[in-house]
Structure 1
Amino acid sequence: MQHLRQLLEIENSELAQLLRFSLYGLEATLNQARIEFPLDPGVEICDQVLQELHSLLQLSPDQPPQPDNGWEDVIILPPKELKLTHLREAFDSDSELSYYLGNSQLQSQTDSDLWNEIQRKLLRVPEDLAASWRQRTLDLAQEVGAIADDSNLYKLPFIRDEIIYPGLSGTVQTQGLRLYQQALSNSQTTQGNVSDLPAAFLFLYMNFIEIDPDLHHALKSVFSFDVISLHSKPEQRHQYIDALSDRFQRTQKAEENADPLLNLRAWIDMDEAIHSLVFVPPAERYSWWGKLQHESRRILKKVTDQANNAGNEVRIRQLSGLYADICALSKDDLQLDCGRIPGEVLTCLRVYARINQEESPGRVIFRSSR
């Protein structure tokens, strides 16, 4: 690693430039392979390799070489002048966005990272606000010579094809993001026969967690006392993915048994795991992210109808509105001091259920009333 760093830091070196291009190609290849083979036994080491490559590719050729002292290098580069500075300033100062996203400022230090950070945050606000802001980002990018590019997209496995947001080419070059059905098919090939939607969420979440450092989890069976960052707590990330995978397996077994109540209980647990992947504050219900997760609730409604048609008495309820109005139906709820309206439910992690006179409390995240 030391000699790679030294070569990359040499100014006006054709060899350094060749090495940089080669490392970019290796990074792109490993990222694509990581998507297509998410359960490969080499995934964890591959992630570490990608982190090392990312660190190398951030090196500036005018930075003096750092001595190799046996410890992991911490490289602090002077911030470069961003071409998208006006976009950052406009985004950070928008009060309507702050209402949904909280008051945290954008953290990216490169134009490429800034573009992706902004676009991912827009997935958490109402779709009309996101649409107007997405057009604004394209207009501001075009002012500095960058244009939308739908050909260079990071592919996330799911049950359908969808461009989530474009990349950029020109003066700023970066990948966009898309859902890609073929990537899910490739993943399924390595795992055997799986049901579409729970498998889709499993593989989508495994990949989304890798690219979005803002993601948290609130899954009670993993950690019941707080909303936990998956970026700063890697052990929680592994435990959450393991729990999601376990619940996915249980939905498969329940479907095979053809027992409507067993299937219903398994789906309630799976739906809880899906909705427990959250942001702080949680995404707005009618955002892209909110609608994505609601696909699980639609399946849960169908499974409930099947149980009722089989002669059972089942009622499920997604908890929303003022927390004071629904707290009797929930248990072990989590409280945040950010989000939308004080005293309001921010997201329903687990639905309330009544199955043949047996009640199962729901679970929510709510905004403190202070």
Structure 2
Amino acid sequence: MQHFRQLLQIQNSELGQLLRFTLYGLEATLNQARTEFPLDPGVELCDELLQELHSLLQPAPTPSQVDNGWGDVIIPPQNTLKLNHLREAFDSDSELNYFLGNSQLQSQTDSDLWNEIQRKLLRIPEDLAASWRQRTIDMAQEIGAIADNSNLYRLPFIRDEIIYPGLSGTVKTQGLSLSQKALLNYQVSQNNQFDLSAGFLFLYMKFIEIEPDLYHALKSVCSFDVIPLHSKPEQRSQYINALSDRCQRTQKAEENADPLSILRTWIDMDEAIHSLVFAPPAERYSWWGKLQHESRRILKKVADKAINAGYEVRIRQLSGLYADICASSKDDLQLDFGGTLGEVLTCLRVYTRINQEESPGRVIFRSSR
């Protein structure tokens, strides 16, 4: 496993990413097989292999985690960080806590802290995020670090976009961007709108690797809870596999050019896209919320094509007071934090009526107590 681990730890290596995705798939397959064949004579060896895979796929220790020579990992105190004043300002902001919950920043290095804060800003309203992003740049300049758009970690997607800058100077770290070139590395054609499904697939696969705060709420994988992906690697693998399967079915339906099949598969794909969530869910008009809404815009175009082909179609995104929409939803999930009491926090699956056949939507809502 030594060479596996070395390849996985090379930053920006496409070969390393391919190996990681392959190992995720192997892990999910073995977990499923372990469940289906509990009496197999290879069960114990399979369990040991799964433990090795789990260890192999864990993130590498950060540079701030230093071995003291006795096998113990020493984490320097937070007050040694150059950006500690930024940490304190961020953690104490009550408006941020409303949108992000009361969790404190966890990073132990300036580089990790910069990226953790910038990624959290992707989940709050864009105007608040813009003012806070400028504030982070100003506070970084106070200690001799400057915003740098030349060193970016590239996420594959259907367009180019700088999401947030990195830093150079006294603190050096990568920023984050969307990249068409990175998507083309997966040999994804960009000839039609349905490539958005593949764009989301590869974007999510990469984003899950760098964001420990992500959850999933995909009913076909787990119907009764919002599941953390960082601490549940088997759920992470199952979610990625489900998203990949829906992407493939969407693309196959598009090749067959049947408007109704395209619509049904895109409804499922849209559900998988919106089921990758934070806790509490990102605000609707945040960067993350607007990114996910791109699939809803495509869904509307697909629905319009089905209507023009003679089908009766109605699609409704569920929002507002939960009491007003609960008759149109099923198997909803409840949180006791985030947002406004009694309101829908995010619509996971849209309500649909196709040729008199109704299908309920699904939401995450804030409890009314």
> What is the TM-score normalised by the length of structure 1?
0.85
For structure 2, the residue ranges without an aligned partner over 5 or more in a row are 26-51
Matches within 5 A, 1:9-158: 29-33=10-14, 37=18, 41=22, 51=58, 54-55=60-61, 57-60=63-66, 64-67=68-71, 75-79=73-77, 81-158=80-157
- Amino acid corresponding to residue 347 of structure 2 in structure 1: C
- Amino acid corresponding to residue 83 of structure 2 in structure 1: L
- Amino acid corresponding to residue 55 of structure 1 in structure 2: P
Equivalent position SS for 1:306: helix
Cα distance between partner residues in 2 of 1:26 and 1:136: 37
Call closer, same or farther: CA 1:256–1:133 in 2, change over 3 Å: same
Equivalent position SS for 2:187: helix
Q: Does 1:202 align with 2:201?
A: yes
- Amino acid corresponding to residue 70 of structure 2 in structure 1: Q
Tell me the equivalent position of 1:4: none
- Amino acid corresponding to residue 292 of structure 2 in structure 1: Q
Matches within 5 A, 1:222-233: 222-233=221-232
- Amino acid corresponding to residue 236 of structure 1 in structure 2: Q
Tell me the equivalent position of 2:270: 271
Matches within 5 A, 1:328-347: 328-347=327-346
Equivalent position SS for 2:353: strand
Tell me the equivalent position of 1:368: 367
Cα distance between partner residues in 2 of 1:138 and 1:35: 32
Deviation at 1:205, TM superposition (A): 0.1
Equivalent position SS for 2:75: coil
Equivalent position SS for 1:164: strand
Call closer, same or farther: CA 1:213–1:96 in 2, change over 3 Å: same
Tell me the equivalent position of 2:48: none
- Amino acid corresponding to residue 66 of structure 1 in structure 2: W
Deviation at 1:78, TM superposition (A): 3.3
The alignment yields a C-alpha RMSD, in angstroms, of 2.8
Cα distance between partner residues in 2 of 1:43 and 1:237: 8
Matches within 5 A, 1:343-354: 343-354=342-353
Deviation at 1:364, TM superposition (A): 0.1
Tell me the equivalent position of 1:5: none
Cα distance between partner residues in 2 of 1:48 and 1:238: 14
Q: Does 1:241 align with 2:247?
A: no
Provide Cα deviations, 1:229-259, integer angstroms capped at 9, x if missing partner. 0000000000000000000011011112211
Call closer, same or farther: CA 1:65–1:35 in 2, change over 3 Å: closer
**Does the CA contact (< 8 Å) of 2:64 and 2:108 recur in 1?**
no
For structure 1, the residue ranges without an aligned partner over 5 or more in a row are 2-22, 68-73
Deviation at 1:59, TM superposition (A): 4.3
Deviation at 1:184, TM superposition (A): 0.3
Cα distance between partner residues in 1 of 2:230 and 2:294: 25
Matches within 5 A, 1:188-337: 188=187, 195-337=194-336
| Corresponding pairs, count | 340
Call closer, same or farther: CA 1:215–1:226 in 2, change over 3 Å: same
Q: Does 1:168 align with 2:174?
A: no
Provide Cα deviations, 1:95-146, integer angstroms capped at 9, x if missing partner. 1111111111111111111100000000000000000000000000000110
**Does the CA contact (< 8 Å) of 1:34 and 1:43 recur in 2?**
no
- Amino acid corresponding to residue 63 of structure 2 in structure 1: L
Deviation at 1:151, TM superposition (A): 1.1
Call closer, same or farther: CA 1:265–1:27 in 2, change over 3 Å: closer
Call closer, same or farther: CA 1:175–1:43 in 2, change over 3 Å: farther
**Does the CA contact (< 8 Å) of 1:260 and 1:303 recur in 2?**
yes
Cα distance between partner residues in 1 of 2:305 and 2:210: 37
Provide Cα deviations, 1:265-322, integer angstroms capped at 9, x if missing partner. 1000000000000000000000000000000000000000011001111000000000
- Amino acid corresponding to residue 354 of structure 2 in structure 1: I
- Amino acid corresponding to residue 65 of structure 1 in structure 2: G
Residue range with higher mean Cα deviation, 140-149 or 31-40: 31-40
> What is the TM-score normalised by the length of structure 2?
0.86
Call closer, same or farther: CA 1:264–1:43 in 2, change over 3 Å: closer
Call closer, same or farther: CA 1:295–1:194 in 2, change over 3 Å: closer
**Does the CA contact (< 8 Å) of 1:82 and 1:111 recur in 2?**
yes
Cα distance between partner residues in 2 of 1:260 and 1:118: 43
Deviation at 1:33, TM superposition (A): 2.0
Deviation at 1:66, TM superposition (A): 1.7
Deviation at 1:31, TM superposition (A): 3.1
Cα distance between partner residues in 1 of 2:288 and 2:339: 16
Cα distance between partner residues in 2 of 1:250 and 1:213: 28
Deviation at 1:369, TM superposition (A): 0.5
**Does the CA contact (< 8 Å) of 2:156 and 2:203 recur in 1?**
yes
Deviation at 1:38, TM superposition (A): 7.2
